[in-house]
Structure formats: structure tokens, C-alpha cells
Amino acid sequence: MNWLIIDFGNTRLKWAQWNDNQLGPENAIEYGCYSLQQLWNQCWGNLTHPQRVIVVSVAEQRANRSLSAWCDETWGIPAEFLHSSAWACGVSNGYQNPSRLGVDRWAALIAVQQRFPGQTVCIADCGTAVTIDALDGNGQHLGGVILPGLNAMRASLQSSTAGINLQESPPISESGDFGRDTESAITLGCLCAITGAMAQTAGKLGKTAESEVICIITGGNAEQLFSCLDGKWQHRPKLVLEGAMILADNNTTTST
């Protein structure tokens, strides 16, 4: 069995291959500087022919159609797109309109349900946006919160405040507890906002949980944020890809 599992986010494309019941290393690329055709060729032009292509996408439909057409032309197989549903693989969707829950969040919920059955879990996916979702021990998704991601927060301040010129990638580990210049102070403020929201959401979940809350962080900025969190948080970089594989194995995909 050789499957290509793809997580097509707002700014990053991530993928891994599923071979012999094992998910291989995650690959990732920020795709803003590529045309779609260049992107597909850059990522998978030399890839061994997969048997299935499974896609979790929050990108626009034009990009999804381009990916599907490339898979058909290159490998003669459709790209199979996952969608959120009211229930799957032991998880009940907490949204009033289940289809409106981002499919990347849905896949992450599926993955933690399989990995931590019967446990209460808080999941923070930290990318262009930060989404924090709550799952109880019965597999019920309780909902979540959404806030801007680290780079979006910084960019918002730069665009709406005069006299601020921020570097693209701040050295977070060198910032210390208090900023001694505007850039480090802004970086620390953004970190405090995100990690504070994560801690507050996990704390609220813990008030009603029957056991200790398992806290998971994933996403493109997870590694940066992880060093600022306490020891109860676990970094699971392939969480969405793991959930996508589980959903695909249960035949919940459609072609686009």
C-alpha cells in the first residue's frame, strides 16, 4: 500500500507517504511564490506512483481542481478530498453545521480520538490561524476558539501602526521575559496571546473533565511556540496527516 497524504493549508503544503502501515516523514513547503503547476511538479514530480492521493484542503476550489487535474494527468488517479461530517471514526462534530468545521481540524480530532481513546484532549493547531479544539472522553467535539496566528498578529500590527518595521522571522528564544525593543516586545505579546489562549482553553476544559486533559500542539508555528509552553503540552507535527489517513481508511473521501 502506497498512499500520498496531503495537508493543503492557507500558506503551507505538507505531505507524507503511507507505506506498509507506517506514515513516513513529513515534508512541507510555503507555496506563495509558486504557480500551482510549479508547486505540484516541485513537490511530487519525482515521486513513485501512489495508489491513492488523500487530501485535507482549506485552500480555494481553483487550487483543489488544479491538484486533482495534475494527479489525473500524472498518475491516472483522482485526488480524494476529505470533508467534515457530523460523525466519523468515533468522533461527534460539535458544530451546529458540521460541514463548516475546517477539515484540517476534523482530521486532527479523528487522530487524537484514535491515539487517546476515552481521554479529554485539547488540540491547538498553530498556523496562519490558531485553532484550539476541545474533545471530551466520549468522543464529543465540544467546539473551539480561533485567533490569528503568530505571523498574522505581527503583520497586523505592522500594517496598522506607524513606525514599526518587523523582521520576517524573529529569534523567539532570544526574546527573554520582557522585550527591550519594539520588535521583541511585539513578538512576546503575540506569544503571550496565543499561549495564553491555549492555557485558558485547556483550563476551561479541565474543569469538567473526568481525567487530566491531554494537551496537543501541531501546525507550522508549533515548534516555535512549544518552547514557551509548560511540560503538559505534546508536539505532534503529523497530527492532521494521521487523521487524514484514518478517515481515508474508512472510505470518507470524495473526488473534486
Tell me the per-residue pLDDT of 119-164, one tens digit each, with 9 for 90 and over. 999 999 999 999 999 999 999 999 999 999 998 998 888 777 766 6
* Marked catalytic residue, from 7, 104, 125, 136: 104
Gyration radius of the chain's alpha carbons: 19
Quick check: do 2-83+245-255 and 87-240 share a fold? yes
Closest CA relative to residue 127, chosen from 49, 30, 45: 30
- Specify whether 104 is catalytic: yes
Side chain identity, residue 52 = R
Tens-place pLDDT, residues 61-115: 999 999 999 999 999 999 999 999 999 999 999 999 999 999 999 999 999 999 9
The structure's pTM equals: 0.93
**36, exposed or middle or buried, with CB in 10 Å at 0-12, 13-18, 19+?**
middle
Q: Could you tell me which CATH class the domain 87-240 is placed in?
A: alpha beta
CA distance linking residue 62 with residue 35, whole number of Å? 12
The CATH code of the domain at 2-83+245-255 is 3.30.420.40
Side chain identity, residue 176 = G
CA distance linking residue 111 with residue 97, whole number of Å? 21
Backbone angles phi, psi at 254, to 5 degrees: -135, 155
Q: What are the structural domain ranges in the chain?
A: 2-83+245-255, 87-240
Structural contact between residues 165 and 154, judged by C-beta atoms closer than 8 angstroms: no
Q: What is the mean pLDDT of the chain?
A: 92
Structural contact between residues 1 and 18, judged by C-beta atoms closer than 8 angstroms: yes
